[in-house]
Amino acid sequence: MLQFHSASTRMVNTRRGVQECLESAMGSGYPKADLLIFHASIGHDFQEIVEEAHAMAPNARILAASCCGVVGREGVSESMKDIALMAIEGNEFAVASCDQIYGHNSYEKCLEMAKDLKAQNQGVNMLYFLGSGIDIANDRCIEAFEEVFGKDVTIFGATSSDNMKGYISFQAVDQQVYEHGAYVVGFADPTLKVETQATHGFVAFGEPLVVTKSVGHIIQEFNGKPAWQEYLNRLGLGADSDCGDTIPIGALGEKLSPELAKEYGNDHLLRVVTKHDGNEMHYATECPEGTELWLTNRDEELIFSEMDRLVQDVKQRMNGKEAVAVFHADCLARGRFLFNRIIKEELVGAMQFPFYVNGECPPWLGMYGFGEFARLGGENTYHNYTTALYVIYR
């Protein structure tokens, strides 16, 4: 049976940060780890992370991704020097990875990884996916995984980020660091189940931007005008603005059906733009012509009330079982004052406390990234600007 351990730290020295996480998570037993999953802020050297982890746990598979802050059992931290770890003991898992994954080849890359996982272990029953946060068609990733494993296998995870600039993000597998890679863990412990759910708390306003020209995940025109220019105009930003300027305020909303909106607690599914080439915008999923996209504003009360509802919904579906581990993906563009850390701690406390076991937080690995995977309407779905919880229980 898989056993989970976690720790997080704010440490300037990268190698010492890795040491502290392993020692805090597993004590002197860290050499027995079989899988190490790290999230680290962009201020750390990722080559040093994987090298130090390999030196301390030479038999473990090592995975890492960049983010804009972490959430662990110890709480939330949003510095440039954060590291968080989920350490796993047991062999009921498989790992597959790839490099050079982009929007145009997301399906093919993920299909190859899915087939690799299936060949390694026929018992895979849930997928933890972490891909590049910049220029990737995430709906095509889901499609590829479901082609091999079927729609009943839950996909959860996130996309990596930098410090909310949209310039570069990192992924690492064993001792190799990538800038446009992805990895997927197939958990195959038959005693485990996972519940996933996401919520954002943003509200649409005004008239929609209508996609009048697009190719796959690349939007070329809104309302017959160059896409990036029209997007900036709607946001009131100058022509010299980049993705980092738009991410906090530029969430785009896709209208949901009434049934999905009721489950989601919001009328729209949100999308973030993390790359543009001239006036072409790289969307997070495929975006056909005719799609209507609304600009949105944060609703502070809705963020907190829907978080409470999410937690209660997940707890109800767990039917009294206790969490053995929680994976968590979040977006920084949330909270009552956007980047206010004190309010972030309040929000994180509200999501963690209901899952405490005997007065302690279960092993917890959270990151602030560019996107999140969680089920909606019974289907694997990609989200942006949400808090997404993935609660594993036995």
Domain ranges of the chain: 3-198+304-393, 202-298
Position 71 scores a pLDDT of: 95
For strands 61-67 and 35-41, give the pairing: parallel
- Residue 340: band (very low, low, confident or very high) from pLDDT cuts 50, 70, 90: low
Position 298 scores a pLDDT of: 86
User: Is 202-298 a CATH 2.40.30 domain?
Assistant: yes
pLDDT one-digit tens code per residue, 355-364: 999 999 999 9
Q: Under DSSP, is residue 287 helix (H, G, I), strand (E, B) or coil?
A: coil
- pLDDT over threshold 80, residue 372: yes
- pLDDT over threshold 70, residue 342: no
- Residue 337: band (very low, low, confident or very high) from pLDDT cuts 50, 70, 90: very low
Position 265 scores a pLDDT of: 93
Distance CA 75, CA 67 (A): 16
- Residue 332: band (very low, low, confident or very high) from pLDDT cuts 50, 70, 90: confident
Position 78 scores a pLDDT of: 86
Average pLDDT, rounded, for the chain:
95
Distance CA 79, CA 296 (A): 27
* CB 382, CB 284: distance < 8 Å: yes
Supply 381's token pair. Answer: 């779905």
Rounded mean pLDDT, 255-269: 95
Tell me how crowded residue 311 is: count the other CB atoms within 10 A of its CB: 21
- pLDDT over threshold 90, residue 49: yes
Position 392 scores a pLDDT of: 98
> Residue 52: which of 17, 4, 23 has the closest Cα?
17
Taking the chain, what is the end-to-end CA distance rounded to the nearest angstrom? 10
Position 236 scores a pLDDT of: 96
> Residue 67: which of 58, 57, 77 has the closest Cα?
77
- pLDDT over threshold 70, residue 335: no
Q: What are phi and psi of 292, to 5 degrees?
A: -105, 130
pLDDT one-digit tens code per residue, 62-116: 999 999 999 999 999 988 999 999 999 999 999 999 999 999 999 999 999 999 9
- pLDDT over threshold 70, residue 341: no
- pLDDT over threshold 60, residue 338: no
